[in-house]
Amino acid sequence: MLSVTVGLAPGFPLIQGHGLLSPGVAGASTSVTEKVPAGQDHACIVGRPPARGVDWAALRNPVLSYSDEGVKDQALQWSGGARHMLFSEMVATKGRSSVQFNVAEATSANLVRWTAPHVIATDAASPDIVRDPAGQFVVTYQSERSQSAGNQLEYRVAQGDSLAHWSASHPLAPGLAPRMIDPALAFTGHGVILGFKAGTSSQHFEIAWAPALGGTFHLVGQPHITLYGDTVENYEFLTVNGRWALIATSNTLDEPFVFTLGPGNPATASTWLTWSAGRQLMVPDQPFDTAPMGINSVTYEHANSAFLCVGPDGEDYLTYAASTELTAFGGWGHARIGIARSSDLVTWQVPPE
């Protein structure tokens, strides 16, 4: 089996001008109910783009934080005239567990001021957001409500492009593994690919395929990706210059990496097992994501659960979760969400704290 190791694969493209905008966004409004071509389900800007780009000078890291909650596993989406941040909300409890996880959402017009969290799913975590081929927004996540079966996957469908109202939960690929977390979808035009992390003491990245989202999923296998002798987690599929890419976090050290799919036909499920060598996304250190002493992922979090988004001015924006400690909220740390920008995914800038 081919192992992917840390480094830049020969011919790995620099990523510029992704073309992640939905069809017709240059001056024309695109309804989320329009059909979505394969590969554009992860468009970060849906419908008419913001009248102005991101005011970088106005931003301060972390861009999203709450004094009494931790936030991580975020996904960023522009739709319905606002930016939406979906995330794992961590709330301290006094019961058997010291923390409760919910999937929640906050909205902002400018990435500076955010609404209070609106809970989409309780006892749930690690959301990802895509659009199905009909143009409807779909949020996927892991649910902890059925402890006897272990963590399982669910999805909900947005009722409109404001992402304010969601359908009831639906099971996603039930029974494929005893424990399933970090789901991510990709609609290929020939069914739907599901990536997820499986296992408990021994964990691994799995790929499954189904003819449709509500259909029966079949395991395809474990992608040929290894970082630091370990697996990857917190997945995001997206297209880059017409090619599928993967943003994922190393299970060891919790650092963000980018991979490119192939060679092979994305319409063939087995192609999704083969990826380029990973390249780390080098997010600069700041006080809110470092600690004077210790090891990243052991005593603090630097750039965990990264999510790539493309701004209306052509720049790439990466959001990520960070914490200066890993003792609060049941040992997950008082996580906050930061942002970085790049024009090539090689050199990154961060706003001041």
Would you state the pLDDT for residue 96? Answer: 57
What's residue 218's pLDDT? 97
The answer on pLDDT for 206 being more than 70 is: yes
pLDDT at 19: 36
3-state SS of the chain is CCCCCECCCCCCCCCCCCCCCCCCCCCCCCCCCCCCCCCCCCCCECCCCCCCCCCHHHCCCCCECECCEEEEEEEEEEECCEEEEEEEEEEECCCCCCEEEEEEEEEECCCCCCCCCEEEEECEEEEEEEECCCCCEEEEEEECCCHHHCCEEEEEEECCCCCCCECCCEEECCCCCCCEEEEEEEECCCCEEEEEEECCCCCEEEEEEECCCCCCCEEEECCCCCECCECEEEEEEEEECCEEEEEEEECCCCCEEEEEECCCCCCCHHHHHCECCEEECCCCCCHHHCCCCCCECCCEEEEEEEEEEECCCCCEEEEEEEECCCCHHHHCCCCEEEEEEECCCCCCECCCC
- Which pLDDT belongs to residue 303? 98
Residue 26: the pLDDT is: 29
Instruction: Summarize pLDDT for 281-333 with one digit per residue, the tens.
Output: 999 999 999 998 899 999 999 999 999 987 656 678 999 999 999 999 999 99
Residue 25 has pLDDT above 50, yes or no: no
Q: Could you tell me the pTM of the whole model?
A: 0.89
Cα distances from 165 to residues 39, 41, 50, 89, 160, in angstroms, run 25, 20, 22, 18, 7
Rounded to the nearest integer, the mean pLDDT of the chain is 87
Segment 183-203 shows an average pLDDT of 93
Say yes or no to pLDDT of 196 above 80: yes
Instruction: Pick 51 or 127 by higher pLDDT.
Output: 127
Instruction: Render pLDDT for 33-85 as a digit per residue (tens, 0 to 9).
Output: 457 887 788 888 888 788 777 899 999 999 999 999 999 999 999 999 999 99
Residue 204 has pLDDT above 80, yes or no: yes
Comparing CA positions, the residue from 200, 195, 194 lying closest to residue 179 is 200
pLDDT-derived band at 178, boundaries 50, 70, 90: confident
The torsion angles phi and psi of 179, rounded to 5 degrees, stand at -135, 125
145 — pLDDT class (breaks 50, 70, 90): low
Q: Average pLDDT in the 207-225 region?
A: 96
pLDDT tens per residue across span 232-288? 999 999 987 778 999 999 999 999 999 999 899 999 999 999 999 999 999 999 999
What pLDDT does 345 receive?
Answer: 85
**pLDDT-derived band at 95, boundaries 50, 70, 90:** low
Distance (Å, whole) CA 353 – CA 337: 12
The confidence score (pLDDT) of residue 98 equals 86
pLDDT category at 185 given cuts 50, 70, 90 is very high
Query: Which pLDDT does position 36 carry in this prediction?
Result: 85
User: What are residue 236's phi and psi, to 5 degrees?
Assistant: -140, 120
pLDDT at residue 271, as a whole number: 97
pLDDT over 70 percentage in the chain: 87
* Least trusted range by pLDDT, from 15-29, 117-131, 135-149: 15-29
